[in-house]
């Protein structure tokens, strides 16, 4: 599966990506992208694994294709329990609001998870690396959370915590999701013909510090509650 190496401003101001790919310095802080102009060694590199290719691969195998339609073809829970997100009100309301998308069972509903970790151990080196994972919710319970269906999409380099610059690193993934919003031609191995696969981003899973970075809403201080927003009764 393909992946891309994208040069990043050392201060996390911007990506040297698409129209900015060949720029010799940052638009915001004038920092050059390379440690040494003679050998072209980048100061910082973002790794991006395109999500479109990985979703298309799910439909290249007949058994996996059938599992990707499970959410539409399986019966709803009759026990009153939520056995799968498709039993929940949010999923069912999405089907009402976006009925054209919901008609095609092969359209993909995605979740995103992110968190940081120290690859060298907290005592060895002060290095914080952030990972962004994408996973399809179409799959049945017991399958959706298997490691082979959780796709690593971004490896955000350290050594510093990205903090409010987190959105800078998300741009390649957002561009991929925008492409999937319009649809991409995909081969369906179960019916032996192509269809237009679309995808939508439904939910994120993360702790409160990552929620702050991903949503842009502060999760500490007076307006910490992301449900109450500006209507909080806190003091």
Apex CA 150: angle with CA 146 and CA 153, to 5°? 165
Summarize the confidence of residues 206-212 as an average pLDDT: 83
Q: Calculate the alpha carbon distances from 80 to 24, 84, 88, 155 in Å.
A: 59, 12, 10, 39
Residue 52 has pLDDT above 80, yes or no: yes
Summarize the confidence of residues 95-116 as an average pLDDT: 93
Any residues with CB less than 8 A from the CB of 111 and at least 6 apart, and which?
134, 135, 136, 137, 201, 202, 203, 204, 205
- At residue 234, the pLDDT reads 73
Residue 120 has pLDDT above 80, yes or no: no
Asked whether the beta carbons of 176 and 154 are under 8 A apart, the reply is no
Band the pLDDT of 179: cuts 50, 70, 90: very high
Burial of 148 (0-12, 13-18, 19+ CB in 10 A): exposed
Q: How far apart are the first and last CA of the chain?
A: 51
Of 76-85, 95-104, 149-158, 199-208, give the lowest mean pLDDT range. 76-85
**Could you tell me the maximum CA-CA distance found in the chain, to the nearest angstrom?**
67
Nearest CA-CA partner of 91 in 52, 54, 138: 138
- In angstroms, what is the C-alpha Rg of the chain? 20
Asked whether the beta carbons of 161 and 12 are under 8 A apart, the reply is no
Residue 132 has pLDDT above 90, yes or no: yes
- At residue 123, the pLDDT reads 67
Tell me whether the omega of the peptide bond preceding residue 109 falls within 30 degrees of 0, making it cis.
no
Count CA atoms closer than 13 A to 79's CA, side-chain side. 4
Band the pLDDT of 93: cuts 50, 70, 90: very high
Summarize the confidence of residues 152-162 as an average pLDDT: 89
Mean pLDDT of the chain: 88
- Percent above pLDDT 90 for the chain: 55
Count CA atoms closer than 13 A to 202's CA, side-chain side. 22
Residue 124 has pLDDT above 70, yes or no: no
Q: Which residues pair with 109 in a beta bridge?
A: 200
Q: Could you tell me whether strands 108-117 and 45-48 are parallel, antiparallel, or unpaired per DSSP bridges?
A: unpaired
- At residue 94, the pLDDT reads 94
Backbone angles phi, psi at 102, to 5 degrees: -70, -25
């Amino acid at each position: 599966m393909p992946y891309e190496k994208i040069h990043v401003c050392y201060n996390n101001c911007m990506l040297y990506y698409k129209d900015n790919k060949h720029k010799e310095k940052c638009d915001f802080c004038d920092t050059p992208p390379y440690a040494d102009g003679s050998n072209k060694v980048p100061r910082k590199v973002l790794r991006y694994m395109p999500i479109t290719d990985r979703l298309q691969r799910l439909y290249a195998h007949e058994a996996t294709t059938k599992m990707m339609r499970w959410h539409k073809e399986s019966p709803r829970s009759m026990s009153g329990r939520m056995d799968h997100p498709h039993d929940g009100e949010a999923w069912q309301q999405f089907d009402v609001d976006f009925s054209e998308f919901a008609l095609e069972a092969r359209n993909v509903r995605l979740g995103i998870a992110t968190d940081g970790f120290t690859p060298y151990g907290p005592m060895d080196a002060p290095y914080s690396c952030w990972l962004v994972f994408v996973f399809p919710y179409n799959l049945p319970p017991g399958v959706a959370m298997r490691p082979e269906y959780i796709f690593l999409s971004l490896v955000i380099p350290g050594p510093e915590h990205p903090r409010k610059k987190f959105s800078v690193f998300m741009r390649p993934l957002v561009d991929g999701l925008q492409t999937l919003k319009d649809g991409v031609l995909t081969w369906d191995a179960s019916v032996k013909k192509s269809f237009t696969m679309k995808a939508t981003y439904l939910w994120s899973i993360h702790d409160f510090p990552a929620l702050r970075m991903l949503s842009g809403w502060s999760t500490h201080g007076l307006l910490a509650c992301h449900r109450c927003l500006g209507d909080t009764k806190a003091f």
